[in-house]
Structure 1
């Protein structure tokens, strides 16, 4: 029997990140009484120590790199940058979003005069399940706990940086992405351990500011190894042009701490070793789910061996959707993307109260990578098509031939499109880099979702001058009707075919 002094909620959301907050607001749409429990930063890693802060830092670094350029007919003199001021701007961006969220929570605070309306109650503290319908909240900055009851629960506690097996972070000389804002100044020399998206993004950021000698440790033969070789090589070349020293096929062996620096020993695949001196090491080797302090054993839910919460296509922790506990975001082990977390959170609420009965589709998710220049992807790449033995055509069209990119004096980039080579000419995927790539990738994702052919897409005309004219020309190229021809520009325009 529910105790009278324990407050009851229709939905309890643990975590205020993109999954949790989106779910809470969708439940308000259904006039539900919602509790949000947050133990750390409002907005989670999606706002603080994650997507928003890192992209703010990237934007600042990109602006600085443009202002520092001397090949555009102007030169900015006495240009300086202060890490403390950069941090202030980054924190300001995070707080802007946090206070927008808090404004919504206060606006929809529970009103006893209108209990039938949707409402939000925020608890600042650590949540633990006491049983399948109750959580105990250890309030932050206060003595004591509070227990609440929920009809439904969404676990959206996100993830945290993975610890390196040897490198122990100290928040000063050895840091992870959560601790970067602890730095008091730009390090003179930095080693980034990990050449995935996050590692390459921070290598771009610090090299853009041109105050740090950046070393990037790449255990494989190439960075971003999940992409095709030409795309991976393009990213590597961009980093190296930006001054990044990439250590391919290198493994970290040991580090020796000195008073003001670190001696790092690297072992290479060919047998030689190298010792480099750096001031800061950034560990960026992935993230792990935050499920270890929730007392899930009191609900009968058992995380996977890797700590994730396995969910069905409605994000429920029960194969037959009989349970009332759901999970969304990074902890589900699906793609760790802000947009995926938001969609999952909203989808759960709609499955509960709107009887939504369709599964989430992750097949055509656009992905953004903030390098120099930015890189965007959607759909399958060549490697994936070959693994699935799908015959295809692939066309590559360089931004050096796109008038808008020439006008912007920003021609480093490309459009690469894959279509089926089965007579149907269905669009299968795209990779694009250069100015505005992160903006137009969504439009291309729409084309994929509509299962359109090249002929159907080419009925549309792109405005001139626009960077998306590169897409138009790339599609024309696949049909053998481009304005500029590969015979004249073999390095800028390429077409290939592949069959099993």
Structure 2
């Protein structure tokens, strides 16, 4: 029986554990904090649970237009919001624990370190140590929030995204440093809760990601303005000081020496992640990392040491730091451990961004296609052109498709709007199946639905190609 030890109980770690146990391996899963990792405890699930409260407030403000005669001046009870978030986490974590038990996976709570390619030592929560021998080791320890110089997290004034999930009250003024996915999601949530939100982004647009089309960034910035969010781009934070009015934050232009000041009550630092590898003894065992500490792996996710694999966020931004990618990497590793030869395929990976409106992306954008010298055609269909969008009262957004000019094969898709994170699944499958926009256009889409935006965009492109 193969013995597999997995360090880290997030989506990558527990998915690998489940797959290995189902194949008959003896599996030990080590987690230093809480089963479920960042995704379940401080990331995907809690933020979306809290966002549901924000969505409810925004819907409530539309009650009168929907014919509901009820007061629309809603106030937020953060204690109830946080308690509901914790309840959802506990339910899902309990489900993971029960599945581990059913699959006879040995769960160990403690901090792991590598002794050699086959041995892991764990400092248990009672301060005793235990050693585990195994045939294969999978490192899935993830990442943690990056701190900025002069902005150390203090859980009071300078907060990480983790801290934002347990606030006892809504900040009157919230300054968010970083206009990436987490920063933008938090901005819309807390703007709905009543905060006066300012986003400071060093680059020239919100969501400055290769996977997000420029058209969607511009749309999101317009919607941020409508929501009362102040967006400041091409600026970086320098320092802050506390006074009787709160915090005075100094910011500096990226392309000159001009500085300005703004006042806030709370600052959220959301500028990136760093590897969660402290104490693992990677260097001593010989596991190679890059200059920033991210673990290096080959196409099969094996590290520089035979039989030691790594998956998930600990691989860093040269891969794709998403929960569903970590899970896919976990499945890939288990196949390789059991004798299959499978390279991890990153060619078709959807991304779901829970701003208001939502954004779903997959494949390449128009900008990426042009940078690669590809001959492509694109088209956009506005959500407001769809009957279902009007029925829902959800008008902002668009569907944008990128197709190869000669063949009509779909190369990429960006969707903004209500339920965009759900709608992107159809286009992810289309990309995986190497479908053309004609294939999509010839597929009957139900009416009235938001998916008709995909149909209309594909039909328009298929008529041009």
User: Shared fold by TM > 0.5?
Assistant: yes
- Residue in 1 that maps onto 2:90: 95
Alignment of 1:67-146 (within 5 A): 67-69=60-62, 70-74=64-68, 76-77=70-71, 78-108=73-103, 119-140=104-125, 142-146=126-130
Selected match of 2:296 from 282, 295, 310: 310
Is 1:447 the counterpart of 2:440? The answer is no
Q: Is the 8 A contact 1:172 1:183 kept in 2?
A: no
Selected match of 2:240 from 246, 249, 255: 255
Residue segments in structure 1 that go unaligned for 5+ positions in a row? 1-7, 109-118, 482-496
- CA deviation after TM superposition for structure 1 residue 239, in Å: 1.1
CA distance in structure 2 between the aligned counterparts of 1:346 and 1:313, rounded to whole angstroms: 14
Is 1:265 the counterpart of 2:250? The answer is yes
CA distance in structure 2 between the aligned counterparts of 1:471 and 1:38, rounded to whole angstroms: 42
Choose 231-240 or 264-273, whichever is displaced more. 264-273
Change (3 A) 1:76 1:253: farther
CA distance in structure 2 between the aligned counterparts of 1:100 and 1:267, rounded to whole angstroms: 47
Change (3 A) 1:270 1:433: same
Superimposed CA distance per residue, residues 255-278 of structure 1 (whole angstroms, 9 cap, x where no aligned partner): 002367211112235654322211
Change (3 A) 1:448 1:144: same
Give the 3-state SS of the residue equivalent to 1:122 in structure 2: strand
Aligned residues: 458
Selected match of 1:63 from 34, 56, 59: 56
Give the 3-state SS of the residue equivalent to 1:195 in structure 2: coil
CA distance in structure 1 between the aligned counterparts of 2:187 and 2:127, rounded to whole angstroms: 43
CA RMSD of aligned residues (A): 1.7
CA distance in structure 2 between the aligned counterparts of 1:169 and 1:436, rounded to whole angstroms: 34
Change (3 A) 1:419 1:41: same
Give 1 or 2 for the bigger CA radius of gyration. Answer: 1
CA distance in structure 2 between the aligned counterparts of 1:271 and 1:128, rounded to whole angstroms: 46
Superimposed CA distance per residue, residues 35-71 of structure 1 (whole angstroms, 9 cap, x where no aligned partner): 1111111111010111111111122211221112254
Give the 3-state SS of the residue equivalent to 2:135 in structure 1: strand
Is 1:241 the counterpart of 2:226? The answer is yes
- CA deviation after TM superposition for structure 1 residue 9, in Å: 7.1
- CA deviation after TM superposition for structure 1 residue 407, in Å: 1.1
- CA deviation after TM superposition for structure 1 residue 76, in Å: 3.7
Is 1:389 the counterpart of 2:373? The answer is yes
Is 1:228 the counterpart of 2:223? The answer is no
- CA deviation after TM superposition for structure 1 residue 73, in Å: 3.3
- Residue in 2 that maps onto 1:338: 323
Is 1:33 the counterpart of 2:26? The answer is yes
- CA deviation after TM superposition for structure 1 residue 456, in Å: 2.4
- CA deviation after TM superposition for structure 1 residue 306, in Å: 1.0
Selected match of 2:134 from 117, 141, 150: 150
Give the 3-state SS of the residue equivalent to 1:479 in structure 2: helix
Q: Is the 8 A contact 2:335 2:342 kept in 1?
A: no
Q: Is the 8 A contact 2:144 2:275 kept in 1?
A: yes
Selected match of 1:404 from 388, 399, 402: 388
- Residue in 2 that maps onto 1:361: 345
TM-score normalised over the length of structure 1 = 0.88
Higher helix content, 1 or 2: 2
Alignment of 1:175-324 (within 5 A): 175-209=159-193, 211-226=194-209, 227-258=212-243, 261-268=246-253, 269=255, 272-318=258-304, 323-324=306-307
Choose 261-270 or 192-201, whichever is displaced more. 261-270
CA distance in structure 2 between the aligned counterparts of 1:34 and 1:139, rounded to whole angstroms: 18
CA distance in structure 2 between the aligned counterparts of 1:367 and 1:99, rounded to whole angstroms: 27
Residue segments in structure 2 that go unaligned for 5+ positions in a row? none
Q: Is the 8 A contact 2:47 2:165 kept in 1?
A: no
CA distance in structure 1 between the aligned counterparts of 2:130 and 2:245, rounded to whole angstroms: 46
TM-score normalised over the length of structure 2 = 0.95
Choose 32-41 or 295-304, whichever is displaced more. 295-304
CA distance in structure 2 between the aligned counterparts of 1:59 and 1:380, rounded to whole angstroms: 30
